[in-house]
Amino acid sequence: MEMVTPFKEIIDAIKAAGGDGFKRCYQCGLCDTVCPWNKVTQFSMRKLVREATFGLTEIESEDIWRCTTCGKCPQVCPRDVKQIESGVALRRIATEYDVFPHSVQPIRAVAANLRAEGNPFGEERAKRAKWAEGLSVPIFAEGMEYLYSPCCYLSYDPRARKIARATVEILNKAGVEFGILGPEESCCGESIRKTGDEALFKSLARQNIRALVERGVKKIVVSSPHCYHTYTREYPEFMVHFEVVHISQLLFRLINEGRLKLGTEYAKKVTYHDPCYLGRHNGVYDEPREALKKIDGLDLCEMPESRENSFCCGGGGGRIWMETPKGERFSDLRLAQAVNAGAEVLATACPYCITNFEDSRINRPDGGASIEIKDITEIIRDAL
């Protein structure tokens, strides 16, 4: 028999997360009409809300772990149900009870890795800056203009490291004074917080904040929209405020100021994918596109679902660490949209999106020959 969580505990958790939460819902079903899960399988946020309202949610259910926190349902909800905050509250209960369905089991290992080495991969903390070998990237010192925070993926993942290196080449070319924290930096904690481990998130946040304050950091450049969201929206909960800029915003600024000269033609048809946490959650739509438009020869086209209606890659809400069966991967559908739009290159600005799209690309019937996956920094670097 599956465990049923007591009604009062569910309601208390949801209230703590966002006021009345699920109790505001009047079951209109708009959330289900926009949820990307309903393009690959059957899932009902409306049903989850109804069951949670009456204390019937089974915390062993896979359903409470499906949400990618893409932000589409809060965007259309007429009652401000706060689906994301309330859904994460349910995950906190499951985490406290140590109840994880099969597809969610990897979260245990991710949490252990974060505690041991400060990154979800379990790689040595001492090697966090290995991606920068040969680039003469300094450790941040007080007085430098920016701290560059490349995120865990760009620090350890072989594919994503190329993005960090491209970013450094661009910053150096533009004469931007910056440094990194290297081994002193830990994961920002965004994804583990979305899986319900609030205590671990707070521990990681405090470690980072201490390092940032002690180093005298005022401005931060990030490559990950998830880091951007955490530094700007969640770290202020700890009474600290940093000036944070996503690399796509800084690229646009550097090009406009004449500090970056784009002299090499990039004669390809490119479509840009809006990451959920850069676009819907933080309203950054124009700068990445305007930066790409500055490149000679680049033909920018749009996919059917773009900007505020962008289709999620499937990596948010901690899903990047969970198992998603073939046939249920959002990135497969998104990549097909890019190919159907006639794009030769799918550009984006998020390491989770890059990872999912690269996996989908190599699993295409043509082995990925029909399209390339590029971070915006890689395209800009090639056009310098």
Report d(CA 347, CA 372) in Å as an integer.
8
Residue 347 bridge partners (DSSP) = 272, 374
Q: CA 87 to CA 90: how far, in whole Å? A: 5
- 213 and 117, same structural domain? yes
Q: Are 194 and 201 in contact (CB under 8 A)?
A: no
- Is residue 15 over pLDDT 50? yes
pLDDT at 200 over 60: yes
Asked if residue 300 and residue 166 are part of one domain, the reply reads no
Cα–Cα distances in Å, from 24 out to 11, 17, 43, 56, 100? Answer: 12, 14, 20, 17, 28
Decide if 195 contacts 64 (C-beta within 8 A). no
Neighbouring-strand partners of residue 243: 219
Q: How much is the pLDDT for 2?
A: 47
Q: What is the pLDDT of residues 126-139, one digit of tens each?
A: 999 999 999 989 99
pLDDT at 124: 97
Instruction: Please check whether residue 2 lies inside any domain of the structure.
Output: no
| pLDDT of 201 over the 80 cut | yes
Is 111 found in the same domain as 190?
yes
Domain end (from 103, 132, 152): 103
pLDDT at 19: 44
pLDDT at 48: 84
| Predicted pLDDT at 87 | 87
In the predicted model, what is the mean pLDDT of the chain? 92
Do 113 and 223 fall within a single domain? yes
C-alpha–C-alpha distance, residues 279 and 286, integer Å: 9
- Asked if 189 and 201 count as a contact pair (C-beta separation under 8 A), the reply is yes
- Which of residues 252, 283, 314 is at a domain's end? 252
**Does the structure show a pLDDT above 60 at 3?**
no
Q: What is the dihedral angle through the alpha carbons of 210, 212, 216, 221, rounded to the nearest 10 degrees?
A: -170
Can you give the residue range of the structural domain that contains 226?
106-252
Residues 114 and 224 in one domain: yes
Q: What is the mean pLDDT of residues 90-96?
A: 88
What local confidence, expressed as pLDDT, does residue 9 receive? Answer: 63
277 and 370, same domain (yes or no): yes
Residue 1 has pLDDT above 50, yes or no: no
- Is the distance from CB of 235 to CB of 242 less than 8 angstroms? yes
The angle at the Cα of 245, spanning 241 to 249, to the nearest 5 degrees, equals: 155
Give the whole-angstrom CA distance, residue 37 versus residue 40: 5
95 and 154 fall within a common domain:
no
Whole-model pTM over 0.85: yes
Q: Which two tokens stand for residue 104?
A: 């969610």
In-domain check, residue 71: yes
Q: Is residue 238 within 8 Å of residue 209, measured between CB atoms?
A: yes
Higher per-residue confidence, 325 vs 355:
355
- The verdict on residue 1 lying in a domain is no
Spatial CA neighbour of 92 closest among 193, 218, 11: 193
Question: Strand 178-179 to strand 243-246: parallel, antiparallel, or no bridges (unpaired)?
Answer: unpaired
Banded model confidence at residue 77, pLDDT cuts 50, 70, 90:
very high
Q: Are residues 68 and 111 in the same domain?
A: no
Q: What is the pLDDT of residue 343?
A: 96
On whether both 112 and 98 belong to a single domain, the answer is no
Q: What is the CATH number of the domain that holds 166?
A: 3.40.50.1860
Domain membership flag for residue 257: no
> Does residue 172 sit within a domain?
yes
Q: Does residue 293 share a domain with residue 208? A: no
The number of distinct structural domains making up the chain is 3
Q: Distance between terminal CA atoms of the chain?
A: 62
CATH number for position 28: 1.10.1060
Assess whether 68 and 146 both reside in one domain.
Answer: no
- Residue 220 is assigned to a structural domain of this protein: yes
Domain with residue 369: its CATH number is: 3.40.50.10700
Q: How far apart are CA 52 and CA 94, in angstroms?
A: 13
- The CA distances from residue 114 to 62, 99, 102, 146, 229, in Å, are 23, 19, 20, 25, 19
Domain-embedded: residue 207: yes
Share of the chain above pLDDT 90, in %: 76
Q: Which of 218, 224, 225, 222 is nearest to 243 (CA)?
A: 218
List the structure tokens of 215: 């180093």
- Specify the range with the lowest mean pLDDT, choosing from 41-45, 146-150, 271-275: 41-45
Extract the tokens encoding 203: 């521990």
pLDDT band for 287, please (50, 70, 90 cuts). Answer: very high
Largest CA distance in the chain: 66
What is the identity of the amino acid at 284?
V
pLDDT of residue 52: 74
Is 319 a domain residue? yes
d(CA 156, CA 123): 7
As a whole number, mean pLDDT of residues 236-249 equals 96
How many residues make up the chain in this entry? 384
Q: Which of 44, 78, 103 is the last residue of a domain?
A: 103
Q: 3-class SS at 122? A: coil
243 & 112 share domain: yes
